[in-house]
A and B are shown apart, each in its own frame.
Chain A
Amino acid sequence: MLILECPYCGVKAEETELHAGGEAHLKRFGPGSSDDEFHDYLFMRENPKGVHFERWRHVNGCGKWFHAARCTTTLEVFGTYTAQTSAPPQEIRDAITAKRPGWSWREFE
């Protein structure tokens, strides 16, 4: 069972307390963007075997959205962090590097 620590209320919440919200750090494209940008924003998702960044909501707790860094092949959790950022903080990146040297994801921002 997946357990994530909510960065707001500090509760170690198990899955039934949480709601998965999909890929993190999406850049929104709207009017004025190219067809490709809009297509990718709407339909293309990172679907890596390995390190992944996601949005989660502490739905049956404080109700707030936050971020998690997780491995999709081992279900290991590298850490959670607040929603008020468009890229994972350095300590999360370091925690991932410690366990998955050379990891990569798409560009942030």
Chain B
Amino acid sequence: MKRYSAFAVAREALRYHTGWERAWRNPAPKRQYDVIIVGAGGHGLATAYYLGKNFGITNVAVLEKGWLGGGNTGRNTTIIRSNYLQDPSAAIYEKARSLYEDMSQDLNYNVMFSPRGVIMLAQTEHEVRGYKRTAHANALQGVSTEWIEPARVKELVPIINLAGPRYPVLGGLWQERGGTARHDAVAWGYARACSAMGMDIIQQCEVTGVRSEGGRVIGVDTTKGAIDCDKLGMVVAGNCSHLSQMAGFRLPVESVALQALVSEPIKPCMDVVVMANTVHGYMSQSDKGEMVIGGGTDGFNNYTQRGSFHHIEETVRALIETFPMVSRLKMLRQWGGIVDVTGDRSPIISKTPVQNCFVNAGWGTGGFKAIPGSGWAMAELMATGHSPLAEEFSMMRFKEGKFIDESVAAGVAH
């Protein structure tokens, strides 16, 4: 792999950009791998990357039914923050956030991490209390975040209307080192680094069956033939119930559509990310100038990657009260992704009833920010059988009553 650098850009400029090589190879599957990861989204690719980087396991294939990064990783609104309430969440999301800080250097790929700051608005008394509680919890967890008053919110977000008639802004939870990153670049950067370590990323290869013998996984059936493996990691977000069914067990997950939309590009007007969880609306401005807007999930099970139009209307209606300028914006595009939601709104990184078969799922509406931390923990779990970061996220926690309830403060957790 040729490294990217300022020098390389200059060199290529002089020879009409004829010297760039493919970012990753496009191999045919081998008969056998030590580890197969199903799903080339951020979480699957990060798992493969840290298997190689941290544990030296490189006989790895990442199988993807579509194109890499074409799932939720390429469909999300890219908000990154780590100020969650519960200890296990704060630990894994903060690990992820801190890995984002130097991901571009680590991967030699510009993921455009932009720690511009994230505000979660408090627009009800309940939220005020909830976020103050989170700020105190974060202080104990060593996660940097602070409660801010409305005047400071206005200072950070001049376009905001604090005195909305339905939902006035009563303050906010502010994380200065939260922000955004380029979602595609995260997938591409990991893919390039995995490929450079000799791993095979095989696109347009759908897993159609999971083979096991004596309760132990031995391989998968795919649209490109059967492939054997010692260990299997299923990292397929909204399709996790489908995959687990192939392996013969069930997951406490439901798949629903979550949508986002972007406006026409406008001049810079908001240089932080703002989330309004009570009304289900959040917004940031992309480097191109588009306002990137997300809302809440649809209410019913859905695999179509299309959501209902009225949810877009609801999101925009809610935002207009808090950001009156939104009413003048033309919207350019709208899309949906299928998110995997668990009972306590926290993810699953876990061993399964099938030996050597592992699952990473349930990130729902908020897993982009977790990609590096999740991959780190999943790789550790798959390589060694144990990961402190993943421990509490076992799929057994529902039976044991050890929930990681992140839905207490806000129903959404982007």
* Residues on A facing B (Cβ under 8 Å): 1-2, 15-16, 19-20, 22, 35-36, 39-40, 42-45, 47-49, 52, 54, 70, 72-75
Contacts and interface: CB of A to CB of B under 8 A. Distances in A.
Given A47-B253, A49-B242, A42 B343 contact: yes
Label chain B's interface by main secondary structure: mixed
A48 B303 CA distance: 9
B110 interface: no
Interface string B346-382: 0000000000000000000000000000000000000
Contact of A47 (B299, B301, B304, B398): B301
A47 B241 contact: yes
A19 B298 CA distance: 10
A106 to B, nearest CB: 10
B398 A42 contact: yes
A19 B253 contact: no
Contact of A44 (B239, B242, B250): B250
Contacts of A54: 300-301
B310 interface: yes
The interface size bin for chain B is 20 to 34
B295 to A, nearest CB: 15
A1 to B, nearest CB: 6
Interface string B297-332: 001111110101110000000000000000000000
Interface of B: 239, 241-242, 250-255, 299-304, 306, 308-310, 342-343, 398-399
A43 B242 contact: no
B399 A35 contact: yes
Given A44-B250, A47-B253, A19 B299 contact: yes
Given A43-B398, A47-B255, A74 B304 contact: yes
A16 B239 CA distance: 27
B310 A72 contact: no
Given A42-B398, A43-B343, A72-B302, A2 B253 contact: no
A109 B242 CA distance: 23
A20 B300 contact: yes
Label chain A's interface by main secondary structure: mixed
B318 to A, nearest CB: 15
30 contacts: A1-B308, A1-B310, A2-B300, A2-B308, A19-B299, A35-B399, A39-B398, A42-B343, A43-B252, A43-B342, A43-B343, A43-B398, A44-B250, A45-B252, A45-B254, A47-B241, A47-B253, A47-B254, A48-B241, A48-B301, A49-B239, A49-B242, A52-B301, A54-B301, A72-B301, A72-B302, A72-B304, A73-B303, A73-B304, A75-B304
Contacts of B252: 43-45
A54 B301 CA distance: 9
Given A1-B309, A20-B300, A74-B304, 17 more contacts: A1-B310, A2-B308, A16-B310, A22-B254, A43-B342, A44-B250, A45-B253, A45-B254, A47-B241, A47-B251, A49-B239, A54-B300, A72-B255, A72-B301, A72-B304, A73-B303, A75-B304
Question: Which are the 8 A-B pairs with shortest beta-carbon distances?
Answer: A20-B299, A47-B241, A43-B252, A20-B300, A43-B398, A39-B399, A43-B343, A73-B303
A43 B242 CA distance: 17
Looking at A2, A20, A47, A73, the one whose CB has the most chain B CB atoms below 10 A away is A47
Looking at B253, B255, B299, B310, the one whose CB has the most chain A CB atoms below 10 A away is B299
A40 B250 CA distance: 10
